[in-house]
Amino acid sequence: MASNQTQARAATFRTGIAEKIAYGMGDVACNAVFALTSGLVVYFYTNVVGISAGLVGTILLLSRIFDGISDLAIAQIMDKVNSKHGKARAWILWMSIPYGLSAVALFSVPAGATNIVQAVYIFITYNLCTTFVYTALNLPYSSMAPMMTNDDSDLAKLNLFRMSMSPIGNMIVTACTLPFINRLGGDQHAWIIVTVIYAVIAFGMLMWTFFGCKERFHPAATKEAEGLPFTTRLGAALHNKYFIMLTLTMIAVSLYQNVNGTCSTYYAQYVLGNAELMGVMQTVEKIPWILGVIFLAPFIKRFGKRNLVLAGAVLCVAAQIILMTNPANYTLVLVSAALRGLGEAPFYGCIFTMLADTIEFGHWKTNIRVHALLFSAFTVGQKFGGGIAGWAIGKLMDASGFTGLEVEIPSAVSMVQNLYLFGTIAAWGAVVVFMIFYHLDKEYNGIVADLAKRGQRAG
């Protein structure tokens, strides 16, 4: 066993810059659809198609339930499928074309149909895109990094590349979509044309990821766990307290993502007076996020991942409190957005490395190395949070009398403003609480050393 460990240590591999960029391109592509489905598609359904916000929210909640089931199902399939292209990498190839086609289908709602027919169509296409295709693409992609390198420092850098590049796709979509669509006429046809363009670009990026990345490591303990019953692996995951904390943290951040993604368009239109300002707001938020992640590595080494995430969450809450002093002041809106972006950077820069840390903790605690299931359960939390947020936003806006017209009634404007302000405070406030109880950073080196003594760690 000791000789095996020595061999594993000798086989340490670090990815190059080109491979890190190729890996990051995958998340740029994924964020194109994520930006559409987490915010803009709701605006499209309510303000272009004319579906009520409450009905859209209910559809999203039901869809997220199916979406959570699909994550666990895809994880099960990943554990069983071994392709010549790898366990995770192959899915990028298989799902790249369905990814684009299903995104276009989201905006091809039959315009002349009844509300019931439109609602059924939305439910089917939304689930095709997010529940099946996006899950089958993004879950394997997210779990691929630990298969590319077995060096902890390199894994952190690989995830930093990913998370510094991922907001680029989101930023471009949120900044350019509405102005681009309005220049093309602002109707449903314009939405479809723009989505087709995004789909083609995303396909090229996914091929960049597929051909530019390689899987190299599949630890023996992971292979052994793949043969265990699902209930055994699920039980090991549920005994992993730090994984549960991170999942709750992801639910909270997902609540924020959906509140921010959905309400910022309405906020720009009804509070600031111009829907296209949403793109500026999102860009101002994403640039500090990108810069923050790029320069995060030395701060991680000095302060630790948990401490940085905690400080960032506090900054996000503070940014909204500042905005509360004058919610309709455009300059203050941008200042708040920039501060939030800086506060978000530690979370996005550290979260997937922290998730990898919980895999080591779970292996140490239970002697079962759960990999794909942890990533899938983690994304279940993300989607559950998004579903709850979408449903709550829809119901609250319906209750406010929201009409979706060019000029909105005062009660609906007030609701949009309150959701944008207090939804963010609640979400990041929850992150503060969870991070206070997260102490894995202090325990991690001892855990890794103990696993190495047992000969159970391949890195």
Distance (Å, rounded) from C-alpha 168 to C-alpha 191?
20
pLDDT one-digit tens code per residue, 332-385: 999 999 999 999 999 998 988 898 899 889 989 988 887 667 776 677 777 777
Residue type, 176: C
> Hunting for tokens 């060019």 — which residue is that?
406
Distance (Å, rounded) from C-alpha 427 to C-alpha 377?
20
Residue 405 in tokens: 């017209």
Residue type, 73: A
Q: What's the pLDDT score for residue 221?
A: 56
How many degrees, rounded to 5, is the angle at CA 30 between CA 132 and CA 53?
A: 70
Q: Of the ranges 4-13, 105-114, 433-442, which one carries the lowest mean pLDDT score? A: 4-13
Distance (Å, rounded) from C-alpha 40 to C-alpha 191?
10
Flag whether 229 is in a domain: yes
> Hunting for tokens 């793109």 — which residue is that?
279
pLDDT one-digit tens code per residue, 384-428: 777 788 888 888 988 999 887 777 889 999 999 999 999 999 999
CB 437 within 8 A of CB 309: no
Q: What's the pLDDT score for residue 5?
A: 40
Flag whether 196 is in a domain: yes
CB 146 within 8 A of CB 371: yes
Distance (Å, rounded) from C-alpha 137 to C-alpha 277?
31
Flag whether 359 is in a domain: yes
Flag whether 275 is in a domain: yes
Question: How high does pLDDT run on average in the chain?
Answer: 87
What is the number of other CB atoms lying within 10 angstroms of the CB of residue 328? 13
Q: Quick one: pLDDT band at residue 124, thresholds 50, 70, 90?
A: very high
Q: Does residue 2 have a pLDDT over 60?
A: no
- Cα atoms in the Cβ-side hemisphere of radius 13 Å centred on 314: 8
What is the number of other CB atoms lying within 10 angstroms of the CB of residue 8? 19
Q: How far is CA 204 from CA 85, 194, 199, 207, in A?
A: 18, 16, 9, 5
CB 149 within 8 A of CB 353: no
What is the number of other CB atoms lying within 10 angstroms of the CB of residue 426? 15
Residue 41 in tokens: 């598609």
Q: Give me the domain span that covers residue 445.
A: 11-454
Calculate the dihedral angle through the C-alpha atoms of 259, 260, 261, 265, rounding to the nearest 10 degrees: 110
pLDDT one-digit tens code per residue, 262-277: 899 899 999 999 988 9
Q: What's the pLDDT score for residue 110?
A: 95
CB 195 within 8 A of CB 104: yes
pLDDT one-digit tens code per residue, 287-342: 999 999 989 989 998 999 999 999 999 999 999 999 999 999 999 999 999 999 99
Flag whether 292 is in a domain: yes
- Burial (Cβ within 10 Å: 0-12, 13-18, ≥19) of residue 302: exposed
Structural domains of the chain, count: 1
Flag whether 6 is in a domain: no
CB 259 within 8 A of CB 119: no
Whichever domain contains 438, its CATH number is 1.20.1250.20
DSSP string, 150-173: --HHHHHHHHHHHHHHHHHHHHHH
Q: How far apart are the first and last CA of the chain?
A: 14
- Residues 42, 192, 91, 23: is their CA dihedral positive or negative? negative
Q: What's the pLDDT score for residue 392?
A: 87
Residue type, 216: R
Q: Does residue 174 have a pLDDT over 90?
A: no
Flag whether 1 is in a domain: no
Query: In sequence order, what are the beta bridge partners of 86?
Result: 83
CB 239 within 8 A of CB 362: yes
Flag whether 176 is in a domain: yes
pLDDT one-digit tens code per residue, 10-28: 467 889 999 999 999 999 9
